[in-house]
Amino acid sequence: QDNRISIWSAGDLGNAGLNGEYHGEPHLLCDIQHNGDVMDMQFLDQERIVVASSTGTVTIFRHHQNNQTLSANHRWEKAHYHVDQDTSCGGAACTGVVCNNPEIVTVGEDGRINLFRADQKDAVRTIDNADSSTLHAVTFLRTTEILTVNSIGQLKIWDLRQQRNEPSQIFSLAGDRVPLHCVDRHPNQQHIVATGGQDGMLSIWDIRQGTMPVSLLNAHEAEMWEVHFHPSDPDHLFTCSEDGSLWHWDTSTNVSEKPSFLHQGGRSTAYLSHSTINQSVISAWLSNDPTKDRMEITNLIPNQTLSVNSLDVLGPCLVYGTDAEAIYVNRQLFA
Amino acid sequence: MDEPDTEPPLVVVPGADSSSRQLCFAWGPAEVLVCETLFGRAGGSRSRSDGAGAAARALRDSVAGTEDRAPSSSRVFVVRRDQDIYIQTLRKLFNESHGIFMGLQRSEEELAGKSRKAQLVQVSKNYRSVIRACMEDMHQAAVSTRDPALQGQYSTQVSILSAMELIWNLCEILFVEAATAGPLLLRLLDWVRLHVCDVDSMVREVLSSESPSKHKLFWNVVDIFVLQGRMDEARHLLSKEASANPTSMNMYKILDDLMKKMPVPSLSNTQTLTELELKWQHWHEECQRYLQDGTFASNPHMESICKILLGDEDAILEKKELMTTWYHFLVTRLLYSHPTVKPMELRFYAQSSMDLFLGGESSPEPLDMILMAAFEFEMHQVIKECSIVLSNWWFVAHLTDLLDHCKLLQSHNLYFGSNMREFLLLEYASGLFSHHSLWQLGVDYFDHCPEYGRVYLELHIERIPLSTEQKALKVLRICEQRQMHEQVRSICKIMAMKALRNNRLGSALSWSIRAKDAAFATLISDRFLKDYCERGCFSDLDLIDNLGPSMLLSDRLTFLGKYREFHRLYGEKRFPEAARLLLTLMTAHIAPCSFWMTLLTDALPLLEQKEVIFSAEQTYELMRCLEDLTAGNPDKQKFQDDDVETTKVEMLRLALARNLARVIVKEGTVEGS
Residues of A whose CB is below 8 A from B468: 37, 39, 54, 93, 109
Residues A311, A178 share a domain:
yes
Task: Determine, for residues B473 and A242 on separate chains, whether the beta-carbon distance falls below 8 Å.
Answer: yes
Q: Which of A55, A133, A307 to mutate to test the interface with B (most CBs of B within 10 A)?
A: A133
- On the question of a cis peptide bond just before residue B592, with omega within 30 degrees of 0, the verdict is no
- Does residue B503 sit at the A interface (CB-CB below 8 Å)? yes
Residues of A whose CB is below 8 A from B469: 93, 95, 109, 134, 151
Q: What is the pLDDT of residue B63?
A: 32
Residues A328, A233 share a domain:
yes
Minimal Cα distance from A134: which residue of B? B507
Q: Which of B471, B507, B541, B552 to mutate to test the interface with A (most CBs of A within 10 A)?
A: B507
Round to whole Å and give the CA distance between A93 and B498.
Answer: 13
Q: What is the pLDDT of residue A304?
A: 80
- Does residue A307 sit at the B interface (CB-CB below 8 Å)? yes
- Size of chain B, expressed as the number of residues it contains: 673
- Does residue A77 sit at the B interface (CB-CB below 8 Å)? no
Residues A329, A193 share a domain:
yes
Round to whole Å and give the CA distance between B216 and B226.
Answer: 17
Q: What is the pLDDT of residue B634?
A: 57
- Does residue B105 sit at the A interface (CB-CB below 8 Å)? no
What is the distance in angstroms between the Cα of A281 and the nearest Cα belonging to chain B?
A: 34
What is the distance in angstroms between the Cα of A179 and the nearest Cα belonging to chain B?
A: 8
User: Of the residues A65, A100, A130, which one is the last residue of a structural domain?
Assistant: A130
- Does residue B474 sit at the A interface (CB-CB below 8 Å)? yes
Q: Which of A38, A152, A224 to mutate to test the interface with B (most CBs of B within 10 A)?
A: A152
Q: What is the pLDDT of residue B263?
A: 86
Round to whole Å and give the CA distance between A53 and A96.
Answer: 9
In this complex, which of A129, A152, A223 lies closest to B473 when CB atoms are compared? A223
- Does residue B467 sit at the A interface (CB-CB below 8 Å)? yes
Residue A165 lies in a domain: no
Are the beta carbons of B414 and B421 closer than 8 angstroms?
A: no
Q: What is the pLDDT of residue B488?
A: 92
In this complex, which of B441, B502, B539 lies closest to A82 when CB atoms are compared? B502
Q: What is the pLDDT of residue B476?
A: 93
What is the distance in angstroms between the Cα of B613 and the nearest Cα belonging to chain A?
A: 32
Residues A221, A79 share a domain:
no
Q: What is the pLDDT of residue A11?
A: 65
Residues A211, A120 share a domain:
no
User: Residue A146 — very low, low, confident or very high, per pLDDT cuts 50/70/90?
Assistant: very high
Q: Which of A177, A219, A174, A175 is nearest to A196 (CA)?
A: A219
Q: How do the domains of chain B map onto residue ranges?
A: 14-36+73-81, 191-327, 468-572, 593-672
Residue B285, classed as helix, strand or coil, is: helix
Number of domains in chain A: 2
Residues A189, A67 share a domain:
no
Residue A183 lies in a domain: yes
Interface confidence, given as ipTM, is: 0.85
User: Of the residues A67, A100, A130, which one is the last residue of a structural domain?
Assistant: A130
Are the beta carbons of B511 and B495 closer than 8 angstroms?
A: yes
Residues of A whose CB is below 8 A from B85: none
Round to whole Å and give the CA distance between B378 and B51.
Answer: 30
- Does residue B470 sit at the A interface (CB-CB below 8 Å)? yes
Residues A178, A126 share a domain:
no
- Does residue A14 sit at the B interface (CB-CB below 8 Å)? no
Residues A306, A242 share a domain:
yes
Residues of B whose CB is below 8 A from A223: 473, 477
Residue A249 lies in a domain: yes
- Considering Cα of B234, then B236, then B241, then B245, what sign does the dihedral take? positive
Inter-chain contacts counted by CB atoms under 8 A, chains A and B: 122
User: Residue A280 — very low, low, confident or very high, per pLDDT cuts 50/70/90?
Assistant: very low
Round to whole Å and give the CA distance between B393 and B159.
Answer: 17
Give per-10-residue mean pLDDT for chain B (673 aa). 59 70 73 73 42 30 34 66 72 92 83 83 94 91 86 89 93 91 89 81 82 80 88 86 79 86 80 86 89 83 87 86 88 90 90 86 87 91 90 91 86 64 91 87 93 92 88 93 92 91 86 87 86 79 77 85 86 86 82 80 81 82 83 58 77 86 84 54
Residues A324, A181 share a domain:
yes
The predicted model gives A52-60 an average pLDDT of 91
Residues of A whose CB is below 8 A from B548: 153, 172-177
- Considering Cα of B160, then B388, then B451, then B494, what sign does the dihedral take? negative
Residues of A whose CB is below 8 A from B91: 325
- Considering Cα of B539, then B540, then B545, then B550, what sign does the dihedral take? negative
- Does residue B144 sit at the A interface (CB-CB below 8 Å)? no
Q: In this structure, how many other beta carbons lie within 10 angstroms of the beta carbon of residue A180?
A: 28
Round to whole Å and give the CA distance between B452 and A201.
Answer: 35
**From its phi and psi, is residue A222 left (phi > 0), alpha (psi between -120 and 50) or beta?**
beta
Q: What Å distances lie between residue A204 and A173, A178, A194, B413, B508, CA to CA? A: 11, 15, 5, 56, 27
Residues A103, A178 share a domain:
no
Domain around A221:
174-253+283-334
Establish how many alpha carbons lie within 13 A of residue A101's alpha carbon, considering only the half-sphere containing its beta carbon: 9
The predicted model gives A178-202 an average pLDDT of 92
Round to whole Å and give the CA distance between A127 and A107.
Answer: 10
Residues A43, A105 share a domain:
yes
Task: Determine, for residues B92 and A325 on separate chains, whether the beta-carbon distance falls below 8 Å.
Answer: yes
Residue B117, classed as helix, strand or coil, is: helix
In this complex, which of A84, A90, A223 lies closest to B477 when CB atoms are compared? A223
Residues A314, A208 share a domain:
yes
pTM of the model: 0.82
Contacts (Cβ under 8 Å, ≥6 apart) of A66: none
- Does residue B448 sit at the A interface (CB-CB below 8 Å)? no
Q: What is the pLDDT of residue A49?
A: 92
Residue A70 lies in a domain: yes
Residues of A whose CB is below 8 A from B473: 198, 223, 242
What are the backbone dihedrals phi and psi of residue A134, each rounded to the nearest 5 degrees, phi first? -75, 135
Q: In this structure, how many other beta carbons lie within 10 angstroms of the beta carbon of residue B231?
A: 18
- Does residue B98 sit at the A interface (CB-CB below 8 Å)? yes
To the nearest whole percent, how much of chain A has pLDDT over 70?
81
Establish how many alpha carbons lie within 13 A of residue B58's alpha carbon, considering only the half-sphere containing its beta carbon: 11
- Does residue A251 sit at the B interface (CB-CB below 8 Å)? no
Task: Determine, for residues A303 and B95 on separate chains, whether the beta-carbon distance falls below 8 Å.
Answer: no
Q: In this structure, how many other beta carbons lie within 10 angstroms of the beta carbon of residue B551?
A: 20
Residue A66 lies in a domain: yes
